[in-house]
């Protein structure tokens, strides 16, 4: 969602801010703006509705705005329509406080009334303007110091925020505060950087500070001082980011999504090898003990979107291999549900939160709910230092590297393999997997990267099929068991980037309603990787074909009977059926990609979507 950048150094700030915002474009936005200050001269604010290119044009790529200290923002509208007026930065009427904000101020109405009573007026529909004016109010009421004013305001604000602020009386300084919205700070060569996300500053520095919840910082040139809510100085240790700058570039591909699709063999291999060496899985780094694993009676997997689909696939694997009942829950539902947890839940349950960004608001809230109920949590997270990674009791980092395209591919694949290793190890510790099967499962995981590579070699066949079918209005994905989980992900990939309506159904459910939607030429994609369920799903294919469906079959080499039924069949290498999602999802990612390309759409930044959903 909104992207934030800041720079305080010895170069012109605006071009650096614009470069940073460009790197954050993937987060989703509908307007942009920046504020730059040259010494004690008044600050200059420039805003634009629409693409960042409009702001770049307005500022001549930043060259027409002078000053070495500034803040920038891309806005994803929540309160108030996308417009230049609602775009950030916002400022108090006399320009005393200027700021940008990512997050949501939940009690904005109550705060607005308080400010109205105190003579403030409002020009925008945003909650951010209220936050800025509240800080201005406390600045003038009390000590006339930024830290004190921000702290007074933060005590009154309910909601989430990553705030960047500039004060008229404090030239050459930026103040920031954070609660439940991502923000990192970086330092290099006597200059300071601020961003919502690592890719925006990777080019300049890999030394970063992860500012904590309800903490503040004064950002000078190359020096940052952190404060708590009482205004006391606190120490935060810098961390080194392992990702390199090239990882956040397109590397010759037309779109990040295609680059990331091709990075999947490596993402899977790196994630696997982070816990598996010489044929042995070692989860000790994650801190879950064998005793804990043996006691487990219930696992909850909680996530959103594609991460939820990983959970659906993992449910089958964990129940099968580790013999533990698993409930997979959408985080947005889990957080508000009154689930009756067992009396011993703190000892015999585990909540696994899966999240690429580690910042998804619903997933974070679900994690906190689990903690409130005393349940231990394990975060499967890609972004180091993200909120979920920081708050979970245990963390399994997926090593997918930065994922920029809104539609997840490599993070999904890395999450799958993380969950497989958990399932195998849990099964082994609980005595359900023999040494022989253990060795075989690990060999199967080791073989996945090469099998994914093989599917990628067949790309042109999918490209051809996608070009032929890209005018479809409705697409249905069907499968049973893990094939149903694969269908869910295939369907989401297709709809989110190609804007073609699609649905995924457990194949056996078709007859309970959906089959009435099948008419002449409706594209139905049938996933058949699970040997014991293939016959059943084949019957469902026969049913839809007799009602006019145009059939695509996605199956493993060897199941050549599928060709007799399907109009188009694509094959993937066979693997142990538990791990089939890892190979079978690849053609579906490619299909979605080529549908979107054929329809001339912006693959990496689909409309209305944000990479990391940091508001409810
Ligand atoms: O960062 P997270 O993994 O928590 O994100 C969850 C979903 O928002 C995400 O998977 C979303 O569904 C993707 N756009 C799917 O491609």
Count of CA atoms in the C-beta half-sphere (13 A) of 595:
27
Ligand 1 pocket: which of 360, 493, 608 to mutate (most atoms <8 Å of CB)? 360
Q: What share of the chain is helix, strand, coil (3-state, %, to 5)?
A: 40, 25, 35
Q: Is the pLDDT of residue 616 over 80?
A: no
Given pLDDT bands bounded at 50, 70 and 90, which one contains residue 421? very high
pLDDT at 426: 98
Task: Please tell me the distance between residue 292's alpha carbon and the centre of ligand 1 in angstroms.
Answer: 29
Task: Give the pairing of strands 349-355 and 377-381.
Answer: parallel
Region 143-168 average pLDDT: 95
d(CA 523, CA 24): 36
pLDDT band at 107 (very low <50, low <70, confident <90, very high): very high
In degrees, to the nearest 5, what angle opens at C-alpha 98 toward C-alphas 95 and 99? 165
Q: What is residue 613's predicted lDDT score, i.e. its pLDDT?
A: 81
Whose C-alpha lies nearest to ligand 1, atom 7? 305
Task: Tell which one of 304, 329, 491 to mutate to probe ligand 1, the residue whose CB is within 8 A of the most ligand atoms.
Answer: 304
Cα–Cα dist 246/402, whole Å: 10
Which pTM value belongs to this model? Answer: 0.85
Which residue's alpha carbon is at the smallest distance from atom 16 of ligand 1?
A: 407
358-381 residue pLDDT tens: 999 999 999 999 999 999 999 999
- CA nearest 455: which of 594, 559, 556, 311? 556
Percent of the chain with pLDDT over 70: 100
Question: In angstroms, what is the C-alpha Rg of the chain?
Answer: 25
Minimum-distance ligand 1 atom for the alpha carbon of 383: 1
Pocket test of ligand 1: the residue of 307, 497, 502 to mutate, having most ligand atoms within 8 Å of its CB, is 307
Q: Is the pLDDT of residue 216 over 80?
A: yes
> Which residue has the CA at smallest separation from atom 8 of ligand 1?
305
Residue nearest to ligand 1 atom 10, measured at CA: 306
For 463-513, what is each residue's pLDDT tens digit?
999 999 999 999 999 999 999 999 999 999 999 999 999 999 999 998 898
Closest C-alpha residue for ligand 1 atom 14: 407
Q: How far apart (Å, rounded) are the C-alpha atoms in residues 23 and 261?
A: 19
Residue from 1, 181, 404, 408 to probe ligand 1 pocket by mutation (most atoms less than 8 Å from CB): 408
Q: What is the 3-state secondary structure (H, E, C) of 91-119?
A: ECCCCCEEEEEEEEECCHHHHHHHHHHCC
d(CA 531, CA 473): 31
What does the pLDDT average to over 533-554? 94
CA of 611 to the centre of ligand 1 (A): 7
For ligand 1, the distance from its centroid to the CA atom of residue 356, given in whole angstroms, is 7
Parallel, antiparallel or unpaired: strands 174-179 and 184-188: unpaired
Structure tokens at 297: 């009676």
Q: What is the pLDDT of residues 327-362, one digit of tens each?
A: 999 999 999 988 888 888 888 999 999 999 999 999
Half-sphere exposure of 484 (CA within 13 A, CB side): 16
Contact residues of ligand 1, CB 6 A cut-off: 304-307, 355-357, 360, 363, 406-408, 492, 496, 612-613
**Spatial contact of 384 and 197, defined as CB atoms under 8 Å apart:** no
Q: How confident is the model at residue 2 (pLDDT cuts 50, 70, 90)?
A: confident
- 192 and 222 Cβ atoms separated by less than 8 Å: yes
User: For the residues 425-450, what does the mean pLDDT come to?
Assistant: 98
289 alpha carbon – ligand 1 mean position (Å): 29
User: Which pLDDT score, from 0 to 100, does residue 609 have?
Assistant: 83
What average pLDDT does range 401-426 have in this prediction? 97
307 Cα to the center of ligand 1, angstroms? 6
- Residue 25's pLDDT is 85
pLDDT of 151-160, one tens digit each?
999 999 999 9
Model pLDDT, residue 252:
85
- Residue 1 scores a pLDDT above 90: no
CA atoms within 13 A on the CB side of 589: 30
* CA distances, 440 to each of 279, 434, 446, 449 (Å): 9, 10, 10, 16
pLDDT at 408: 97
pLDDT value, residue 78: 78
Assign 280 to helix, strand or coil. Answer: strand
Q: Exposed (0-12), middle (13-18) or buried (19+): which is 387, by Cβ within 10 Å? A: buried
| Closest-lying ligand 1 atom to the alpha carbon of residue 304 | 6
**Using CA positions, which residue lies closest to atom 4 of ligand 1?**
355
What's the average model confidence in pLDDT over 425-429? 97
CB 167 within 8 A of CB 157: no
pLDDT of residue 489: 98
CA 304–ligand 1 middle distance (angstroms): 6
**Centre of ligand 1 from the C-alpha of residue 303, in Å:** 9
Give strand ranges (E) for 119-249: 159-167, 174-179, 184-188, 191-195, 207-210, 215-219, 224-227, 233-234, 239-240
The catalytically annotated residue of 112, 428, 495, 611 is: 611
Residue 28 reports pLDDT greater than 80: no
261-280: per-residue pLDDT in tens?
A: 999 999 999 999 999 999 99
Residue 549 or 242, more confident = 549
Q: For residues 52 and 22, is the Cβ–Cβ distance under 8 A? A: yes
2 included as an active-site residue: yes
To the query of whether residue 611 is one of the catalytic residues in this protein, the response is yes
| Average pLDDT for 289-294 | 94
- Give the strand pairing for 523-528 and 550-556: parallel
Mean pLDDT value across the chain? 94
Instruction: Select which of 2, 35, 69, 304 is catalytic.
Output: 2
Q: What is the pLDDT of residues 305-317, one digit of tens each?
A: 999 999 999 999 9
Residue 177 has pLDDT above 80, yes or no: yes
- The rounded distance, in Å, linking the Cα atoms of 8 and 166 is 11
Ligand 1 centroid–CA 306 distance in Å is 5
Please report, for residues 170, 302, 615, the alpha-carbon distance to residue 360 in angstroms, rounded to integers and kept in the order given: 34, 11, 7
Identify the pLDDT of residue 209. Answer: 95
Residue 36: band (very low, low, confident or very high) from pLDDT cuts 50, 70, 90: very high
Residue 241 has pLDDT above 80, yes or no: yes
Q: Whose CA is nearest to atom 9 of ligand 1?
A: 305
The protein residue whose alpha carbon is closest to atom 12 in ligand 1 is 305
Picking from 502, 500, 493, 573, the residue whose alpha carbon sits closest to that of residue 258 is: 493
Cβ(267)–Cβ(414) under 8 Å? yes
How does pLDDT run across 48-81, given as a tens digit for each residue?
Answer: 998 899 999 999 999 999 999 999 999 988 778 8
Ligand 1 atom with least separation from CA of 613: 8
d(CA 554, CA 53): 41
Between the CA of 126 and the centroid of ligand 1 the distance, in Å, is 26
């Amino acid at each position: 969602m909104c992207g934030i950048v800041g720079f305080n150094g010895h170069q012109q700030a605006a071009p650096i801010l614009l470069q940073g915002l460009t790197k954050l474009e993937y987060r989703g936005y509908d307007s942009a703006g920046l504020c730059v200050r040259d010494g004690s001269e008044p600050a200059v604010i420039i805003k634009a509705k629409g693409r960042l290119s409009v702001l770049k044009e307005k500022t001549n790529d930043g060259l027409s705005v002078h000053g070495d200290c500034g803040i920038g923002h891309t806005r994803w509208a929540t309160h108030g329509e996308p417009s230049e007026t609602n775009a950030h930065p916002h400022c108090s009427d006399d320009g005393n406080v200027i700021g940008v904000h990512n997050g949501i101020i939940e009690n904005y109405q109550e705060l607005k009334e308080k400010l109205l009573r105190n003579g403030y007026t409002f020009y925008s529909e945003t909650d951010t303007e209220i936050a800025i004016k509240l800080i201005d109010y406390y600045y003038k009421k009390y000590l006339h110091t930024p830290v004190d004013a921000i702290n007074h305001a933060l005590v009154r604000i309910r909601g989430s925020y990553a705030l960047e602020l500039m004060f008229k009386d404090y030239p050459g300084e930026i103040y920031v505060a954070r609660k439940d919205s991502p923000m990192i700070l970086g330092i290099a060569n006597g200059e300071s950087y601020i961003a919502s996300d690592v890719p925006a500053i990777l080019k300049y520095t890999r030394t970063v500070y992860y500012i904590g919840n309800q903490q503040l910082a004064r950002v000078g040139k190359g020096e940052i001082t952190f404060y708590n809510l009482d205004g006391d100085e606190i120490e935060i240790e810098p961390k080194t980011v392992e990702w390199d700058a090239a990882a956040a570039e397109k590397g010759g591909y037309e779109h990040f999504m295609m680059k990331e699709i091709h990075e999947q063999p490596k993402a899977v291999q790196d994630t696997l090898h982070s816990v598996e060496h010489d044929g042995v899985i070692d989860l000790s780094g994650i801190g879950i003990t064998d005793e804990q694993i043996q006691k487990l009676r219930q696992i909850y997997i909680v996530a959103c979107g594609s991460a939820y689909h990983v959970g659906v696939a993992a449910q089958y694997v964990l129940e099968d291999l580790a013999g533990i009942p698993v409930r997979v829950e959408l985080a947005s539902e889990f957080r508000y549900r009154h689930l009756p947890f067992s009396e011993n839940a703190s000892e015999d349950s585990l909540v696994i939160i899966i999240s690429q960004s580690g910042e998804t608001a619903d997933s974070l809230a679900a994690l906190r709910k689990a903690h409130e109920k005393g349940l231990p949590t394990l975060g499967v997270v890609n972004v180091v230092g993200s909120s979920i990674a920081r708050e979970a009791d245990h963390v399994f980092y997926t090593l997918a590297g930065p994922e920029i395209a809104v539609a997840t591919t490599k993070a999904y694949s890395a999450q799958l393999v993380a969950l497989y290793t958990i399932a195998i190890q849990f099964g082994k510790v609980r005595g359900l997997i023999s040494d022989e099967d253990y060795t075989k499962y690990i060999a199967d995981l080791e073989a996945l990267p090469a099998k994914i590579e093989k599917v990628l070699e067949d790309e042109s066949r999918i490209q051809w099929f996608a070009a032929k079918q890209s005018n479809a209005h409705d697409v249905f994905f069907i499968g049973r068991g893990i094939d149903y989980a694969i269908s869910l992900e295939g369907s989401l990939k297709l709809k989110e980037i190609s804007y073609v309506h699609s649905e995924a159904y457990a194949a056996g459910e078709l007859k309970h309603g959906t089959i009435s939607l099948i008419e002449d030429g409706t594209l139905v994609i049938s996933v058949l990787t699970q040997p014991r369920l293939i016959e059943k799903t084949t019957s469902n294919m026969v049913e839809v074909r007799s009602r006019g469906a145009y059939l695509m079959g996605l199956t493993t080499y060897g199941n050549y009977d599928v060709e007799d039924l399907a109009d188009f069949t694509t094959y993937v290498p066979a693997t142990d059926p538990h791990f089939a999602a890892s190979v079978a999802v690849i053609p579906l990612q490619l299909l979605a990609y080529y549908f979107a390309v054929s329809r001339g759409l912006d693959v990496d930044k689909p409309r209305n979507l944000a990479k990391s959903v940091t508001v409810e």
